[in-house]
């Protein structure tokens, strides 16, 4: 059974940084691209970033390019999202999802709150 477990969310001040993690199990992590999607409270889904299986290729939404970095450690079956210069409007639940283009498996999400 595929399992994805996000962690690292919390309260951070505007302009601050946070690193999210997503631990994966139940599939061959090193063979699969991975994605982050976020959802602001009461709002819709927003794609954030995707990384290929080897980590060689990364993709970002324009709204986070230059501030967020997606990475992975295939030896530890873990996906990361480093978020810098966070803004209040980036308060959201951040989900990790398996695959690069559409997502059959999602984690339960981790809440990031950007507020002073």
Partner 1 sequence: EIVLTQSPATLSLSPGERATLSCRASQSINSDLVWYQQKLGQAPRLLVYGASNTATGIPARFSGSGSGTDFTLTISNLEPEDFAVYYCQQRGTWPLTFGGGTKVEIK
**Site residues for partner 1 per CB under 8 A:** 35, 44-47, 50, 59-62, 95, 101-104, 106-109
State the nearest-atom distance from the C-beta of 95 to partner 1, in Å.
6
| Contacts of residue 6, Cβ cutoff 8 Å, sequence gap at least 6 | 20, 21, 22, 94, 95, 96, 107, 108, 109, 110
Output the CA angle 71-11-86, nearest 5 degrees: 55
Q: Which is nearer to partner 1, 15 or 102 (CB)?
A: 102
Q: Are 18 and 11 in contact (CB under 8 A)?
A: no
**CB closer to partner 1 out of 79 and 107:** 107
At its nearest, how many Å lie between partner 1 and the CB of residue 77?
19
Residue closest to 100 by CA, chosen among 65, 68, 63, 56: 56
Write down the least CB distance from residue 90 to partner 1, Å: 16
Q: Which is nearer to partner 1, 65 or 76 (CB)?
A: 65
């Amino acid at each position: 059974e595929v399992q994805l477990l996000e962690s690292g969310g919390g309260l951070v001040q505007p302009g601050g940084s946070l690193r999210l993690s997503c631990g994966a199990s139940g599939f061959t992590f090193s063979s699969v691209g991975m994605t982050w999607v976020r959802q602001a409270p009461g709002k819709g889904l927003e794609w954030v970033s995707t990384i290929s299986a080897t980590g060689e290729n990364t993709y970002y939404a324009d709204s986070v390019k230059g501030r967020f970095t997606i990475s992975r450690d295939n030896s530890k079956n873990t996906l990361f999202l480093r978020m810098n210069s966070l803004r209040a409007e980036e308060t959201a639940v951040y989900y990790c999802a398996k695959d690069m283009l559409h997502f059959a498996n999602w984690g339960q999400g981790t809440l990031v709150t950007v507020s002073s």
